[in-house]
Structure 1
Amino acid sequence: MSKKNNKMSCFSCMSSRPKNIEDYDEDMISRSNNSAVHARGNSSDSGSGNGRKEGFLKSKRSGESNNQNNNVARSFAFKELAIATQSFRETNLIGEGGFGSVYKGCIDSGQAIAIKQLNLEGLQGNQEFVVEVLMLSLMHHNNLVNLIGYCTHGEQRLLVYEFMPLGSLENHLFDLEPGTTPLSWKTRLKIAAGAAHGLEYLHKANPPVIYRDLKSSNILLDNDFNPKLSDFGLAKLGPVGDNTHVSTRVMGTYGYCAPEYAMTGKLTLKSDIYSFGVVLLELITGRKAYDTSKKQGEQNLVVWSNPFLKDRRKYFHLVDPMLDGQFSSRCLHHAVAVTAMCLQEQASFRPSITDIVTALDYLLLQAQHSGTHRGGSQSGKHIPPPSTEEFNVSSRNRSYDNMAITF
């Protein structure tokens, strides 16, 4: 929901064009007839139902909403949304992207909302609209943005979300206004861990969901910097059974796409892991995934960072100067190590999202216990691996000693 125009394009080109997910009907709907979509029954307006306990939400996981009734997406009349936004007045415009414009509004209950309005000139927006309603009507988690409702009035297509007061992560990382306080190291870890929990929920769904558009502008923040993933128009159902991937046209945002997906169109859960690694790199460096204002050789963040990621002695060259040394050396090394594993060129070498969640939960807990140490000093008190009770923040039976990611 950033005011910056996020240019969505095929990886092979950088022209600004709507997201293309023409194959959504075959992949998203027919394949889910035997799971969550089928569980909705015949209700076409509710957008959710008790059947969510099957299919996508087959088992209860951390962060999943326990109050199903509060998550039912409602159908809005266009007049209601026009009133809520003062006829979509420009002063209420809070963002623009490939889908269309986003406005802040307020409904009768007094709740602040964000309304995403389909760009009627876009060729693929209606398909994205269907996928997003489908996804967010079926899936609910503390780290996914909540879909309040939708509107289909004539050619108008609008999505109504909870309002996220702090906007997107990119608003707090890049091009900060003078005098703006940058994100602290602990807050960056908090955002990374929360986003990882949201992605894990998608990957652990049945069938699994590949987000396909993970980037800093799609990570929204509440007043306490709790992150929520948004914009699911490019999401795809992942491979099931003996299948290793799904084949699709290459879509996403330049700088975030996994190399094997960009070259072959073969999409896997590990494609999301690469994108998550890019976001981690943005959090560590304070630099954009792709920045044309940089000189040649530094425009692509992953390319620029590669020499530093390969040498532990150079990790400090990656750190955002805005952090002013307010981080621990040990925590930085671990965070960079996780990032480097996510960015492995060979997809099979990348960790699972569950391993990433385990690692980031631990690093966040360590940062909360140890406080801030200037200049990457290692003189701060060493925090041992947390106990099972302490570390089991998500009601999971995880053991630090059994982590697949080792430091």
Structure 2
Amino acid sequence: MDSSRLLILFIVPVLLDLLAPAGAQVNDATCTYTADFCWRCSNIGTYEDGGSYQKNLNTLLSSFSSNNQTNSGFYNSSMGQDPDKVNAIALCRGDVSLNNCHACVNQSSPFLFTNCSNEDEAIVWAERCMVRYSSKLIFGIQEDEPIKYVPSLTDAIDPQKFDLVLNLFLDTLTEKAASGDSLKKYAAGHTIMQESTTNQTIYALVQCTPDLDKQNCSDCLKGAVSKIPDCCGGKQGGRVLKPSCNLRFEATLFYEPTADSLVTLPSVKGMVKLNKSKISKAVIIIIAIVGVVFVAMILIGILISLRVRRRWRKQKLENDNSDDSSLVESLQYDFETIKSATDDFSDANKLGQGGFGAVYKGRLPNGRNIAVKRLSKNSEQGDREFKTEVTLVAQLQHRNLVRLLGFCLKAGERILIYEYVPNTSLNHFIFDPVNRGHLNWETRYKIIGGISRGLLYLHEDSRLRIIHRDLKPSNILLDEDMNPKIADFGMARLFTMDQTQGDTKTIVGTYGYMAPEYAIHGRFSVKSDVFSFGVLVLEILSGRKITSFRSSENDEDLLTYAWRNWKEDIRCQIS
């Protein structure tokens, strides 16, 4: 865990505990061990009763529960045309019969309609199946959120050894499931936990949606396994549920006996207590010979790998172009549609003006409100690079980020279409004498927590590490429930996950919120965003702008003011 994540995880709980009123709790839907269903409704949008979206959804899910064209237990299909197009997936447990699969899907679909009424996106996990639908593209994409945990109520007999054996066991099943074909990626079995007080049996299964490739399936399941210590550590049973994969383990058989098989693992005792002194002289000689051969062959290996990599990249580029084309097509809006939605970009619909262009409110033919950002025409980025970056940003899915719905390109016009957030930006509340009355301590608590979760997702949990570089109150939008959403990624930089910092000669952003190493030397990293986040928290707490103290006799800003008061308070406590 890098320093930025440590800073966020350390600072935010302290601030939130100070702000939270007595008895305040953050509510979230949970799943119980005995519940028949576990579900999550999304807030990406709603549909109208009796409308085209609802009709498409009903027809599509009904076809899943009666579809006899496949016996794999996996169904994925779409129905309708944008903006009423529905994408849906149903996945039954790998050992379930076709009749039981249809029965599970048939029971789960009405449950979604009841509990997630009029929501554009929802998911339900039952014991034997999962059903999911959305207005956005969901096929072949690894989704790790929402995630649900269902821990057993019973502790393992020997928790430490149980967890060690379980990890080895699930790793073995993960490799088997990820190697499955396009019809089924599923593995189940049992292993015996020996060398303990009793020979306890562990039963487990893992499964991915078959539309994932081997690497994404493996990544999804390994991510689920890594969550077990947080949710189910030391328990003799539990479930980790994701949209793209799931796993379950128990001390008793919970799947069909015909799917069971014994999985033999290496001796845990032997792995933990391996005595290096018992390695034979012959083995040492073999290791030395292998090392010499490796050194001699490494140059040849480099040449071969470079040639193979060139071929692989060329082939992958050809494959990716065909896959990305459908995703790009689903994100692209017609210019005339956007022009009509904004009343030809009229001033009456103008929400604001930024350094990268003007923002307008729009309304699509289906009644959905949108925010339209008309970018300035001085960008040197090509159309292909623009589409690639938009495609990446559009796949960012988090409740504390403003969602990018799509884009429009025509005759030099570059337009971004976002979800519409009704309560404008945070600075219209914390700095306004009238609107400030809406920000009680509980609301400020919720806003700070939401910003930190969104920032942590950009830094750690998204597919690419993203540095925002311009975190400030005007770039935090508030929805109708005063939930914060980070917006305006015009200055953001995309990193690979192993990249920690970057340098630039062009300093962009807002002074006062910039970390010193960025403002002076142009070095930016996740720490730069954490610095901006700290300034933002001080503004939310105090209701004062970063520069609001510059006219005082001490000629100080909010940071020096807070630091001076903190030191004086410490001195008072010491004295």
Structure-1-length-normalised TM-score: 0.56
Aligned to 1:399: none
Instruction: Select which of 403, 410, 417 maps to 1:160.
Output: 417
Mapped contact 1:132–1:231 kept (Cα < 8 A): no
Q: Report how many residues are paired.
A: 262
Indicate the larger mover: 267-276 or 302-311. Answer: 302-311
Check if 1:247 corresponds to 2:503: yes
Aligned to 1:4: none
Instruction: Select which of 50, 53, 57 maps to 2:140.
Output: 50
For the residues of structure 1 that align with 2:344 and 2:552, how far apart are their CA atoms? 43
One-letter amino acid matched to 2:355: G
For the residues of structure 1 that align with 2:477 and 2:327, how far apart are their CA atoms? 21
Aligned to 2:448: 192
One-letter amino acid matched to 1:114: A
Q: Deviations over 1:148-187 (max 9, x none)?
A: 111111111111111100011111111344x763411111
Note closer, same or farther for the CA distance 1:195–1:72 as it changes in structure 2 (3 Å cut): farther
Note closer, same or farther for the CA distance 1:125–1:298 as it changes in structure 2 (3 Å cut): farther
For the residues of structure 1 that align with 2:446 and 2:557, how far apart are their CA atoms? 25
Aligned to 1:87: 344
For the residues of structure 2 that align with 1:306 and 1:70, how far apart are their CA atoms? 49
For the residues of structure 1 that align with 2:381 and 2:526, how far apart are their CA atoms? 24
Q: Deviations over 1:45-75 (max 9, x none)?
A: x9986345459x96589xxx959x9999621
Question: What is the CA-CA distance between 1:233 and the residue it aligns to?
Answer: 1.9
For the residues of structure 2 that align with 1:306 and 1:255, how far apart are their CA atoms? 15
Higher strand share: 2
For the residues of structure 2 that align with 1:152 and 1:197, how far apart are their CA atoms? 32
SS of structure 2 residue aligned to 1:157: strand
Where in structure 2 are the equivalents of 1:313-352 lying within 5 Å? none
Mapped contact 2:328–2:391 kept (Cα < 8 A): no
For the residues of structure 2 that align with 1:271 and 1:235, how far apart are their CA atoms? 12
Note closer, same or farther for the CA distance 1:271–1:108 as it changes in structure 2 (3 Å cut): same
SS of structure 2 residue aligned to 1:50: coil
Q: Deviations over 1:333-381 (max 9, x none)?
A: xxxxxxxxxxxxxxxxxxxxxxxxxxxxxxxxxxxxxxxxxxxxxxxxx
Q: Which has the larger radius of gyration?
A: 2
For the residues of structure 2 that align with 1:144 and 1:169, how far apart are their CA atoms? 14
Question: What is the CA-CA distance between 1:91 and the residue it aligns to?
Answer: 1.0
One-letter amino acid matched to 1:159: L
One-letter amino acid matched to 2:354: G
One-letter amino acid matched to 1:259: P
One-letter amino acid matched to 1:118: L
Instruction: Select which of 376, 379, 394 maps to 1:119.
Output: 376
For the residues of structure 2 that align with 1:314 and 1:288, how far apart are their CA atoms? 26
Mapped contact 1:115–1:160 kept (Cα < 8 A): yes
Instruction: Select which of 511, 520, 525 maps to 1:263.
Output: 520
For the residues of structure 1 that align with 2:567 and 2:381, how far apart are their CA atoms? 41
Gaps of 5+ in 1: 1-45, 316-407
Mapped contact 2:401–2:487 kept (Cα < 8 A): yes
For the residues of structure 1 that align with 2:522 and 2:376, how far apart are their CA atoms? 27
For the residues of structure 2 that align with 1:198 and 1:223, how far apart are their CA atoms? 18
Question: What is the CA-CA distance between 1:309 and the residue it aligns to?
Answer: 3.1
SS of structure 2 residue aligned to 1:308: helix
Check if 1:208 corresponds to 2:471: no
SS of structure 2 residue aligned to 1:277: helix
Aligned to 2:20: none
Computed over aligned residues only, the root mean square deviation of the Cα atoms, in angstroms, reads 3.6
Check if 1:76 corresponds to 2:337: no
Question: What is the CA-CA distance between 1:245 and the residue it aligns to?
Answer: 2.2
Mapped contact 1:143–1:229 kept (Cα < 8 A): yes
Where in structure 2 are the equivalents of 1:6-405 lying within 5 Å? 50-53=140-143, 74-120=331-377, 122-123=378-379, 133-177=390-434, 181-204=437-460, 205-238=462-495, 241=498, 244-249=500-505, 250-291=507-548, 294-295=551-552, 297-298=554-555, 300-312=557-569
Aligned to 2:50: none
Mapped contact 1:93–1:103 kept (Cα < 8 A): yes
One-letter amino acid matched to 2:430: L
Mapped contact 1:212–1:252 kept (Cα < 8 A): yes
Mapped contact 1:289–1:301 kept (Cα < 8 A): yes
Aligned sequence identity (%): 37
Gaps of 5+ in 2: 1-135, 144-215, 228-241, 245-325
Structure-2-length-normalised TM-score: 0.41
SS of structure 2 residue aligned to 1:101: strand
Mapped contact 1:71–1:140 kept (Cα < 8 A): no
